[in-house]
Amino acid sequence: MATMKVIELMEDSTKSWEDAVAQAVKRASKSVDNIRSVWVKEQSCSVKGNDIASYRVTVKLTFEVA
């Protein structure tokens, strides 16, 4: 049976929420191995001049620990 751990991360993107999630996984994978899933807990946007400036996500990443 595997032991799993969950961490919470925030990330943003000027492109989309999907890109913000992908960036969160990419950044976490630099220091965390065996990522198994990502759950988007929260989404928001920052607005500047009546336009969306960035897309923000809070995610929970689950990974297997040895």
- Can you give the three-state secondary structure of the chain, one letter per residue? CCEEEEEEEEEEECCCHHHHHHHHHHHHCCCCCCEEEEEEEEEEEEEECCEEEEEEEEEEEEEEEC
Q: Given this model, what pLDDT does residue 28 score?
A: 97
Q: Given this model, what pLDDT does residue 7 score?
A: 97
Higher pLDDT, residue 52 or 66: 52
- Residue ranges of domains in the chain, CATH in brackets: 3-65 (3.30.1660.10)
pLDDT digits (tens, 9 = 90+) for 2-53: 899 999 999 999 999 999 999 999 999 999 999 999 999 999 999 999 999 9
Q: Given this model, what pLDDT does residue 17 score?
A: 96
Q: Given this model, what pLDDT does residue 66 score?
A: 77
